[in-house]
Amino acid sequence: MLKYPLKFEPILKEKIWGGQKLNALLNKDSNLPNIGESWEISDVDGDISIVSNGALKGKTLKELLESYKAELLGEKNYKIFGNKFPLLIKFIDAKEDLSIQLHPNDALAAKRHDSFGKTEMWYVMQADEKANLIVGFNQEMTLDKYKSHLEAKKLTEILNYEDVEEGDVFFIDGGRIHAIGAGVMLAEIQQTSDITYRVYDWDRVDAQGNQRDLHIDLALEALDFNMKDDFRVSYPKKENQTNKMLQCPYFISNYLEITDTVKKENTVDSFIIYMCVSGEAIIESEQFSEVIKKGETVLLPAGIKTYQITSKNARVLEVYV
């Protein structure tokens, strides 16, 4: 029976733009020099998460899906996704700017890659002074205008820059051009997909003098030039209650600032994920007790219906489908 919160071994990704914050601030133990991402929960082929706690330690997420099915995902989710986990959960540290990029929507990803699309959400956990993000365009955009700026290496002139600080939240639809800026560490919630179309990578090279591949032609069909400026998410921050943050077709996210005990009941027929973005908390019921610290993620199977979260100082993101 899946009756306790599951933790997984972080899958650490070295990136040309990565740094040391995931190690220094989130205790991701690694000797890698440029850790860009910590994949907390993943069902991406080749990067399947492995349970790190409890009786199921050593089991893969894929094995859990095959064995427990709706008990893990929830009845409605299992009917939709079967033995595929629908979300990919990450922490990201950008020491340098990420490439300017975008992701395909569901229809295009299915046609080209037999994959989910990649819609995602960012929660900024830490940002250096004057750090920013690129989200969307700074003016009305057409295909011809975009192509002319790209070819002239003037793409940055038409992009929208957003200054950021801790607690800022952004919603990145499939098709929206974007880039995480240098000095930003964030939590990312996204569909299970590793498909990225890079359109500009700052002309940088790796240690061997090679540039990373660009996907300019693939991106043309995927780009959505008509998106509204609805990417910055406002949300309440009332203590010791569930604050609605974002609802989209692929996931729902809430914010909890916990300074006492919050009693919870799963009424959504889904697994529930908690990402601790500050402090630490105890998630417990009569059957279990699990500590979650800053930089840790737990997955509560759908079969767990009642529990409580206790803390003096925790900020937690709650995610389900």
C-alpha to C-alpha distances, 43 to 39, 162, 244, 268, nearest whole angstrom: 10, 31, 26, 22
Residue corresponding to tokens 């914050």: 21
Q: Point out the catalytic residue in the list 112, 176, 198, 212.
A: 198
Catalytic (active site) residue 198: yes
Q: Is beta strand 280-284 parallel, antiparallel or unpaired with respect to 11-19?
A: unpaired
Q: So which residues are the catalytic ones?
A: 198
